[in-house]
Homo-oligomer: A and B are copies of this chain.
């Protein structure tokens, strides 16, 4: 709390504009009278703001509703938010594929696509795959590149402010890569880079398994397990952006890598890919004793990782995603073990968004950015950016 001074007129104008736009988006083609009621602003102020928004392309006059008549003369003008005035991209960069979603300013997804990429592909090849994918999406939807207002990107690793990858063991050549800077060359709009598990947590909170919970841990149960946490509905990145990087946790218990855990021969599986993992799980389902043992080892490790997160954070809900999400049988032992070790066991659910989680979360981050600009509403994300 400091001085109490009068408002800055241009700031006031901006706030009024955001308030009107916010009301316009939430209401169903409101009239000026309706907007005056919704905002508490004066009619001349609302009129001025709406004219400005129409000039900027963000608002259009809505067609009068069919059958609508007014006792006195012509019907009142109605207005609507032009969600089509701009577009957003949500991009996933993963070990095996790149994926993207294209949406309008309301967050409605218009098209999505993905391309495979080799786990061993060098950084330049992976980036080129992303650029190709984006070009294809823009071409298919007829959206000009200049209509993009923000681009969100989900990537493995610790991501610094500005979008440089501080550390990433999952993708070759990724550590130290100025990913945000590299991608910004392809766009004339803000590019926001986020850790993949963090992005997935945001996605499940937006429209997945965590839609009703503000205190959530999302576990990306892949070969390099990671986690993203929302605290009070906001992403918790940690002091250095490394919160939830639990990949090394199992080493502390002197346990093994997934390659050893899922081996049914005593020899580590090398290299372990998702197909092999699924095969081991399938054989366990069929009753193969050694496969079942391997799966039990794998689940023990997952439980250990998740329990550590739960004890540290005490979330309301844990969402399990990544490829383990497709594998039945993880939930029951996880719930049982969490009930044993946690003083206040959380709810446990599988990801609802599945493979789409990371790109969906990246899209939400782009939407947050644009909403912060247009509507002056608070974003889902806090931190040092």
Contact = CB atoms under 8 A, between A and B. Distances in A.
A224 B86 CA distance: 55
A29 to B, nearest CB: 21
B311 A248 contact: yes
Interface string A240-282: 1111111111011111000000000000000000000000000
A228 B13 CA distance: 44
A44 interface: no
A113 interface: no
Interface string A308-342: 11011111100000000000000000000100111
A330 to B, nearest CB: 16
A344 B309 CA distance: 17
Contacts of A241: 314, 344
B243 A313 contact: yes
A268 to B, nearest CB: 20
B240 A4 contact: no
A215 B242 contact: no
A237 interface: yes
Contacts of A4: 15-16, 19, 39-41
B242 A344 contact: yes
A303 to B, nearest CB: 7
Contacts of A5: 40
A172 interface: no
A120 interface: no
B232 A215 contact: no
B39 A3 contact: yes
A377 B1 contact: yes
Contacts of A249: 307-308, 311, 341
A123 B236 CA distance: 38
Interface of A: 1-5, 15-16, 18-19, 22, 39-41, 158, 166-167, 215, 227, 229, 231-232, 236-249, 251-255, 303-304, 307-309, 311-316, 337, 340-344, 346, 375-377, 382
B311 A237 contact: no
B342 A243 contact: no
Contacts of A18: 1
Nearest to A255: B253
A19 to B, nearest CB: 6
Given A245-B311, A312-B313, A304 B252 contact: yes
A242 B343 contact: yes
Nearest to A301: B252
A41 B303 CA distance: 58
A310 to B, nearest CB: 9
